[in-house]
A and B are shown apart, each in its own frame.
Chain A
Amino acid sequence: MSSSYLILTTIIIFLLIFLYISWIFISNEIENKKETGERRDFLYTASYALGAVGLGAAVWPLVDQMNPDASVKALSTTEVDISNIDVGKSITVLWRGKPVFIRRRTQEEIIESQNTKLTELKDPQKDQDRVKKPEWLVMLGVCTHLGCVPLGGKGDYKGWFCPCHGSHYDKSGRIRKGPAPTNLPIPKYEFVDNNTIKIG
């Protein structure tokens, strides 16, 4: 951080010196003659260009301060105990402030999801590509339309239904109907052992 500010300060100091010198140059030229246009054009362009760089460098910290800070980034993984989830049940856990659905699917759900034709899908994706173990469906519970939390077991496909703007997802969390553009996203996760999932 200190190094970038050193660069920033240097740029601003150089900028001020440069603008001051070019201003002296220009005012001398105007007093003397109006012939040396080329040299003045160069000075104008050069000072505007350096000015733009300096302004950009000065504004960037003001913009970047709004990005996720170190404390937010630090909370990037969550470990979940899944031993208590029965077949056909799901739980919702919080990861990075967002809900994650973990569902232990029944055999029928798995078969139905795997047999869905890709041509029927708005955002074609095989069920096999959405799970690490077919029994466990782990996905973000955030509608890809405008970020509401979909309700489980509802909608035309009995998967998930977003109450906000009416997006229907199937039993694999794939978008089937409504304004949402893509399937419910799969977060980065891994099975630490048979009973624990680490998300993030």
Chain B
Amino acid sequence: MDKTHATYEPRIVAFLCRWCSYAGADLAGVSRLTYPANIVPIRVNCSGRVDADMVLSALEKGADGVLIGGCHPGDCHYVTGNYKTRRRIVLIKQALSEVGIDPRRVHLEWISASEGIKFQSTMTSYTELIRELGPSPVRATKAPVHG
């Protein structure tokens, strides 16, 4: 592990759907289930709102990992949004591997409003995974985009 690795704290952004995963995160909070503080959540109405632009923009802005939380298949509040996400994430991961970025830096997880424990375990294991993967190669080469 090189020097940057030793002092490295993963930066992760999590896009959470309002109805399931965001509520699952609320439940984890109410239940006082602790997990690493590396993940900053951003609420979207549906995981189906998460597109390549958002994921790539996060990686470009220095995310070491991007997590997407949606409702379980069949449970989408908007009927089928999560199915669209599932297909889209496969393509995004494929595109990432083609440009040499580990596809595990983008991760989709189904977390329901009643799965506080799953939210905690996902946050914990995903932070650990991103810690092992080290800083994103995009971060190292990143030129400042905004002032």
Query: Are A and B a genuine interacting pair, yes or no?
Result: no
